[in-house]
A and B are shown apart, each in its own frame.
Chain A
Amino acid sequence: MAKGRRIVAPGEQLPPDTTGPEEYLVDHGGWKSPATLGILDERDGKHVFIPLQGVYMPRKGDIVIGLITGQGIVNWFVDINSPYQAILTVQDFLGRPFNPMTDDMSKLLRVGDYVKAQIQAFDRTRNPTLTVQGEGLGRIVEGKIVEVLPSRIPRIIGKKHSMINMISEETGCEIYAAVNGRIHLKCPNEDSEAIAILAIKKIERETHTVGLTERVKKLIEEEKKVRGV
């Protein structure tokens, strides 16, 4: 592991200046420890904790990829890979009032469908509600969904989208990585899809290592050669 970088476990004492996501740092009154496994990164004398684990907690405004798991009277139940089941109303989906006499819900969305949606509201007392009113939101009609640990998404996207753009350019796939750990791929062919998935899974496994971009690039090039893409 590179200098200034180490893996830390729950209960271990962190340097007092450590910053990071609030819910992953435990304050013991005088000292801090990580709440999950993660990387303690030292840069320019400053310590940053980056969690390697954790479930997706919905946040208002997040764009997520959800799986329709059930149907209510005026809404769908959506699995957003979080402890909380989300709700998408038919009215929102239609963008107009829902009339159960004339609108057939099952013609709009079915159990098993994926939707790209935005978290409209969520707090500690109520389950998250979704909206598909927005550009690029709605039912996902083509491509493939890959699941990764939600904590890996920032690394898969990379700084200023560097990683995801690189994979996209090298494979020709259109890639959308949603914060809830689901990645939507639209690829020109099966080989490039397989290569993109290999690359994503490698990043998921090796998030905590340095020089990852170069190794992912190398993996893609080798795979392309092997597959003759």
Chain B
Amino acid sequence: MARKDDVTLFREDGTRLDGRRPDEMRPIKMEVGVLDNADGSALVEFGRTKVLAAVYGPREPVQKYIVIPDKAVLRVRYHMAPFSTSERKSPAPSRREVELSKVIREALEPVVLTDQFPRTAIDIFIEVLQADGGTRTTGLTAASLALADAGIPMRALVGGVAVGKIQGRLVLDIDEVEDNYAEADMPVGAAPDIGLITLFQINGVMTREEVMKGLDMALEAINRIVEMEKEVLKSKYMKVEV
């Protein structure tokens, strides 16, 4: 790999290698109800990153001991398909996947009304089909859509996007190449309608001012992502309108 200072990730006009402005997201695609068996499902793409999410439940879990007497248990699995990366990824769950499953679950806990379904489990399966940066935030967005598609009662919808610091500059929605050379990568998930940040990580070094500026960039973008989620969910019903 080339050293960080050997490469440049900006063009002369200040745009990024793929032509985006620093505060521009990749093209986003969202689709709900893509799977027949699941109670809810969604396919979300941020550029070349493609993530599928499915929701089953609320249902009584097979292992009866995992239940909580006064609310539903959320179970989240974030998993990368073996073919999702340049080099084949072993299908066995990695430490990274274990951590991200937890981080995504904890980003969904604040919005799912689990207390309506005591002693049940709500299962959320996230499969990264193609990884090109921002898979956890794309996964969170897909999970939010799949939960809403399943009709699971929610306080609000959530969405996510990552901000990166590249060569001292803050950029929105970093892809894999940018992530490889970034000084810092900051995934953010939020429920804009209720003003809550539910996923927040920083990998790398930033000043506090940069963090707050990056957070604001992310929150503004998540606002748009969640509005898109609403449109996609509603469009399922708009189609049959007369």
Contact = CB atoms under 8 A, between A and B. Distances in A.
A and B touch in the complex (CB under 8 A): yes
B14 interface: no
Interface stretch (A23-31, A88-96, A111-119, A136-144): A23-31
A52 B152 CA distance: 11
B60 A209 contact: no
B118 A36 contact: no
Interface range on chain B: under 10, 10 to 19, 20 to 34, or 35 or more?
A: 35 or more
Contacts of B156: 10-11, 26, 33
Interface string A189-229: 00000000000000001101101000100000000000000
A58 B154 CA distance: 20
B154 A35 contact: yes
B151 A85 contact: no
Contacts of B151: 36-37, 51-55, 149, 151
B157 A9 contact: yes
A106 interface: no
B2 interface: no
B46 interface: no
Given A83-B120, A209-B242, A23 B153 contact: yes
B194 A7 contact: no
A36 B156 CA distance: 9
B194 A36 contact: no
B106 interface: no
Contacts of B157: 9-11
A176 B148 CA distance: 29
Nearest to B150: A53
B37 to A, nearest CB: 14
B58 A1 contact: no
Contacts of A42: none
A11 B153 CA distance: 10
Contacts of A102: none
The 9 closest A-B pairs by CB, nearest first: A53-B151, A11-B156, A11-B193, A35-B153, A83-B58, A9-B230, A10-B154, A83-B120, A7-B234
